[in-house]
Amino acid sequence: MVLNGIDSITKYRHLFAGKRLGLITAPTGLTRDFESTITVLHEHFHLTALFSPEHGVRGDLDAGALVDTYTDPYTNVPVYSLYRKDSKRLTPEMLEEVDLVVYDIQDVGVRYYTFIYTMLYALEDCARAGVEFVVLDRVNPLNGVTVEGNVLKPGFKSFVGNYELAVRYGMTAGEVATMANDQMQWKAALHIIPLEGWERRMSFPDTGLTWVHPSLGMPRYETALLYTGTCLFEGTNCSEGRGTTFPFEMIGAPFISAQQLADEMNAKGLPGIRFRPVHFKPTSSKHAGELCGGVQLYITDLQALKPLDVGVTLLFTIRDLYASFAFLPPLKEGSRPFIDLLGGDILYRDATVQADQLLEQFAEESRQFAQEKQRYHIYR
């Protein structure tokens, strides 16, 4: 049986006893029996503060929506925002309310996903303030072995890539925290409550755990796997499927011929994936209310699939087929285009670069990162 950190918390009561606890969590902060981590800490220890990441501690906010400070109606514990317009950090005033900060959020194992940076920001802030930090570790749903993609380059840091990770990094949140604390020399008083029964080769279907969507755009395990590659479309004028029932599993735009694109992609013979021509109208986000042609991605072999290869190949195919394709401009003046921030490099916008060249370079960076991360493995 696979147990996440919260399921073993009674073995580590000594870490929490007599301390004022602050908790960074989200709806995925649950025991195996679906009891909220908020409830567990509130009933058994002294929970004095909740810290809200993107989407809110109860998951009631859309992607990108700013979080205000408020009181949790179920516990009467104050909720402080870690997703403010001006900052995503713990402030000295917040940290005065606690002796120890606990982190419990299900990660998806992909560099663009923002919860991992909420954790790393908080770890650094706690190190500066001399406040202890505990990670209630959780499985990496994409397994702890496979690494894909390039490593984030200096000068490309943002909240969708703020640490030098590969795109698919094959580590748990606890391992990432351990690596960052060492490499950045934060010297935080860091404690990891480890997983039990999890092996690195395990993907989410192997764990026997129930998938609880980490955010509204991540309804299934298959979505998280494909997101490794299809999230790149957030930096383009194509819909990544937001506003549909298959976010990150359907890609399209009004200027795309569905059948043509499906035929082109299926002809490439990419392992573990098939493409079906689709037409859809997103209800929100890009091209809301417009009819889009595109493809739906179907996983046919979980072991053979290389989702970043799929995303990169699909993006470059659309770029080469349709003159209306474009990368989106920077979100604000003076910043980089969003594709650069997602990609951690400028190469995606280089018109002379082809998909196979990019993927060949990425393979070498992945190999080096896979070797480096082994020093921080907690699990076999």
pLDDT at residue number 46? 98
**Under 8 Å CB-to-CB from 66, ≥6 apart: which residues?**
81, 83, 84, 85
- pLDDT(142) > 80: yes
In a domain, 359, yes or no: no
In a domain, 129, yes or no: yes
Report d(CA 23, CA 19) in Å as an integer: 12
Q: How confident is the model at residue 70 (pLDDT cuts 50, 70, 90)?
A: confident
CATH of the domain at 132: 3.40.50.12170
pLDDT at residue number 376? 98
Residue with the bigger pLDDT between 71 and 56: it is 71
The answer to whether residues 116 and 264 belong to one domain is no
Give the number of domains in the chain: 2
pLDDT at residue number 168? 98
Q: How confident is the model at residue 68 (pLDDT cuts 50, 70, 90)?
A: confident
pLDDT at residue number 247? 98
**Under 8 Å CB-to-CB from 78, ≥6 apart: which residues?**
48, 49, 50, 69, 70, 71, 72, 97
pLDDT at residue number 331? 87
Q: What is the mean predicted confidence (pLDDT) over 60-69? A: 70
Q: How confident is the model at residue 55 (pLDDT cuts 50, 70, 90)?
A: confident
pLDDT digits (tens, 9 = 90+) for 39-53: 999 999 999 999 999
CATH of the domain at 285: 3.90.1150.140
Its pTM stands at 0.96
In a domain, 125, yes or no: yes
The answer to whether residues 177 and 76 belong to one domain is yes
Tokens of 360: 């060949």
**Under 8 Å CB-to-CB from 374, ≥6 apart: which residues?**
none
The answer to whether residues 152 and 283 belong to one domain is no
Tokens of 92: 């000295």
In a domain, 379, yes or no: no
Burial letters for 103-134: b for 16+ Cβ neighbours within 10 Å, e otherwise? bbbbbbbbbbbbbbbbbbbbbbbbbebebbbb
The helices-and-strands tally (H runs, E runs) of the chain is 11, 12
Q: How confident is the model at residue 62 (pLDDT cuts 50, 70, 90)?
A: low
CB–CB of 135/174 below 8 Å? yes
- pLDDT(174) > 90: yes
Handedness of CA 104, 110, 115, 121 (dihedral sign): positive
pLDDT at residue number 86? 85
Q: Comparing C-alpha atoms, which of 109, 105, 108 is closest to residue 122?
A: 105
The answer to whether residues 123 and 203 belong to one domain is yes
Chosen domain end from 167, 193, 214: 214
Bridge partners, 278 (sequence order): 294
Domain, as residue range, for 252: 221-349
Report d(CA 200, CA 170) in Å as an integer: 8
**C-alpha distances out from residue 250 to 211, 297, 322, Å:** 20, 6, 17
**Under 8 Å CB-to-CB from 264, ≥6 apart: which residues?**
317, 321
Q: What is the mean predicted confidence (pLDDT) over 282-295? A: 98
The answer to whether residues 145 and 187 belong to one domain is yes
pLDDT digits (tens, 9 = 90+) for 20-41: 999 999 999 999 999 999 999 9
| Percent of the chain surpassing pLDDT 90 | 92
Q: Say which residue the tokens 């560099």 belong to.
A: 111
Instruction: Please state whether beta strands 190-193 and 132-136 pair in parallel, antiparallel, or not at all (unpaired).
Output: parallel
Q: What is the mean predicted confidence (pLDDT) over 136-152? A: 98
Write down the mean pLDDT value for the chain: 96
Report d(CA 236, CA 294) in Å as an integer: 14
pLDDT at residue number 32? 96
The answer to whether residues 176 and 249 belong to one domain is no
- pLDDT(133) > 90: yes
The answer to whether residues 284 and 329 belong to one domain is yes
